[in-house]
Chains A and B, each alone.
Chain A
């Protein structure tokens, strides 16, 4: 089917808000190229489950496009129009299965060497549309916190190597109550700036108890039943002979939260769909808690644009060598503390990179702390870059130096360095989501490969 043939009745299976949105913009949709409109519909189809920040972007995009003349739209999407698509794609029922269309389009673009042209078209389009978007107004600078290395007693791995050029490396942090203080700081921000889905606490193990908090909490342990339920569905599908990774991915796209033990209540839909997506669209999130934390933080920055994320990496299960697996011994091996620390160190860097892609990056702060140890690194406009500090400092005064708590002397900190503004977010856009030849098939590996579930 070609875009010009879209009819309003074809959206009858869309969610209520999504259906309304599609019908309201049907004239616009009819003008858009086949290489693009299903990808936009993929976003619209899930509108009811999107975060507020995502909805704002979709709203803006549709509003922007609707305000353009036919010629202007034609010029804006001309690069998509130049792509040559197959008859198979033209016949596809992409209104009802935009996700499946995206997979087939991806394979086709790679196979016909048009992937680079598509990517360039997507970047150009999104950059033009984003340039017209009013800047996001933030009630406070963003804050990212990564807590890494839980359980590690001694460490010789050089931490924060990738982040040190951008911040101040503290070597004498008093670790007393460190996690508690950081959590309190996040809670205080949530209270001071009450924004839906604006403040998050991610934990790779069981979450710490935080009474009366408006932080949205998400933890690997709490989602254990979800992972188990998902595994059962996948195992069943494989046993029944599901036809390859693409078919499995399509199946995963369609899984609803209530099918894997999450709440299906309307008020929980957005969070439930997000939690589901971590396992159905992320790779490695199902087996390694460290990957779960990093991917969740990444997806939150990318999708929800929150003000605060506190991400605590905890030990993941150890990947056992082949001979140990085959010996059949020790089916519940100890966690891999050092491997987890190294993973989390890289995870913290990627979390900071993802934070930097958002509006307000110049004012944003990031703190990574080696839990229960004296090493921390802070990237903040109030602290110099590429600097090491061996002054004794406790967590509260560290936060004060970042401008997040009142210092003991009552003076606010001075701006010391200019942080990066943004990392060219043009490639971080929905048009490119899934357009690759790597299917993010979840990898439970029968659940038995990796001893326990941490």
Chain B
């Protein structure tokens, strides 16, 4: 076998592969910024890593990609054209963790729930169940005695309707986040209009696109959504019909939530790029490009709102990666089924006041570290979580 074709990753241990992935990202960032690589905490532009003033009152916005993306379509030379906003706008302002290793189940709902609880949840990815462990929203609301409107989740698929609150004793619905499923609300809105015939056109999710999970739980219904956000159903539908994707709808709804309630903890999950499950590479790349653009929009929205500007930390991370082209257990970009190092290794960026800019962290961290990190920033302790606060940003 030729050395250049040989799938180098398959000869390495998972740890070595994740280090190689990390190295690619670090080297790429170094080239982009002209920085020199050194140490665990890497300053990308020497002399420019500094912390913004830390305000007293802090907010946190978390953006996850429930789709997973590979370095090939993002950080590698052939993929950089797909993420101009992340590269040119956000990374220079961020602390970037190059090696986030997901040791849990690689299904979007269970992986996102693990992010939110700080524990690798083990329930069936396709079951409409609440997480077993308290979520970041419950810790936040209970420990800090925050009102119901201070923690929100905007999520793409019906399967996420239970992510706001857990089954854990002494936590649960009383402290849960408000969960908005924009596509579901749109379906509900359409079903009451002449456009009812089109409600089935909204794909719930790409992992099980045929089966739409039954919604049970305390997610918001259309009328409560309309009342709370002071947004008429007609206006909601009219605006939705100007948008090209479900993720755009989610970001639109998140913006309404920010303007109406300015929650201290807002969690947005995007999933357009998960169309990759249908096997279309071009649509997968379109999804990445859209996600990149929407991340830029969310950050600019944060900067434009007085309630958020200068006091908000934003975290962006994919829930996990996707399979390598060379792993015969998968089918390239289409799925995230092999559990190989590439599908488990991803990244995280944090930006906002108090966060070092132009900084790369190369040590391995885990997605379950997110919730304790948010806790450290906002002032609560996820007592049942297994992750550790990321000391570089908390």
Q: Tell whether B171 is near chain A: CB-to-CB under 8 Å.
A: no
Q: Produce 1/0 per residue, A82-107, CB < 8 A to B.
A: 00000000000000000000000001
By secondary structure, the B interface counts as loop
Which residue from chain A places its CB closest to the CB of B125 in the assembled complex? A437
- What is the count of residue pairs linking A and B with beta-carbon distances less than 8 angstroms? 193
A321-B245, A322-B246 as given contacts; A419 in contact with B338, CB under 8 Å = no
A210 part of interface (Cβ distance < 8 Å): no
Contact assessment for B283 and A339 in the assembled complex, using a CB-CB cutoff below 8 Å: yes
Cα–Cα distance between A402 and B190 once the two chains are bound (Å)? 58
A contacts with B: majority SS: helix
In the complex, B277 has a CB within 8 A of chain A: yes
Among A211-219, A263-271, A284-292, which stretch is in contact with chain B? A284-292
Is A288 touching B280 in the complex (CB atoms < 8 A)? yes
Q: Does A421 contact B (CB under 8 A)?
A: yes
Cβ-defined contact, B279 with A294, below 8 A: yes
- Tally of contact residues, B, Cβ under 8 A: 67
Shortest B393–chain A CB gap in Å is 27
Q: Name the contact of B331 in the complex, choosing from A295, A325, A328 (C-beta under 8 A).
A: A295
Partner of B127, one of A244, A288, A321, A338: A244
Q: Interface extent on A, as a size class? A: 35 or more
Produce 1/0 per residue, B326-366, CB < 8 A to A.
11110111111111000000000000000000000000000
Give A411 Cβ to nearest chain B Cβ, in Å.
26
User: Which residues of A in the span 387-441 have a Cβ within 8 Å of any Cβ on B?
Assistant: 418-428, 432, 436-439, 441
* B123 / chain A contacts, CB cutoff of 8 Å: 111
* A246 in the interface (beta carbon within 8 A): yes
Q: Determine if B279 and A441 form an interchain contact, defined as CB atoms under 8 angstroms apart.
A: no
Which B residues are CB-close (under 8 A) to A284?
Answer: 277-280, 334
Q: Which residues between 101 and 136 of chain B lie within 8 Å of chain A, taking CB atoms? A: 103, 105-107, 110, 120, 122-127
Interface residues of B in 274-333 (CB under 8 A from A): 275, 277-283, 285, 325-329, 331-333
- Is B249 a contact of A116 with CB atoms below 8 Å? no
When each residue 179-219 of chain B gets 1 if its CB lies under 8 Å from chain A and 0 otherwise, what string results? Answer: 00000000000100001011011110011111100000000
Tell me the bound Cα distance from A356 to B1 in angstroms. Answer: 10
Inside 8 A of B190's CB, which chain A residues have their CB?
326
Decide: B282 and A326 in contact? CB cutoff 8 A. no
Across the interface, name the chain A residue whose C-beta is closest to B127: A244
Residue from the list A119, A283, A322, A357 in contact with B339, Cβ < 8 A: A119
- Let me know if B78 and A111 touch, CB within 8 A: no
Q: Are B210 and A322 in contact (CB under 8 A)?
A: no
B29 to A: closest C-beta gap in Å: 23
Tell me whether A373 is interfacial, beta carbon within 8 Å: no
Chain B residues with CB under 8 A of A432: 329
Would A350 and B198 count as touching, CB distance under 8 A?
Answer: no
Query: Which residues from chain A sit less than 8 Å from chain B, CB to CB?
Result: 107, 110-113, 115-116, 119, 161-162, 165-166, 234, 238, 242, 244-246, 248, 282-285, 287-288, 290-291, 294-295, 298, 302, 316, 319, 321-328, 336, 338-340, 342-343, 345-347, 349-350, 353-354, 356-357, 385, 418-428, 432, 436-439, 441-446, 448-449
Q: Can you name 12 extra interface pairs (CB under 8 A) apart from A322-B245, A438-B335? A: A110-B122, A113-B120, A162-B325, A244-B126, A339-B283, A353-B332, A357-B328, A420-B1, A422-B1, A427-B328, A428-B329, A437-B105
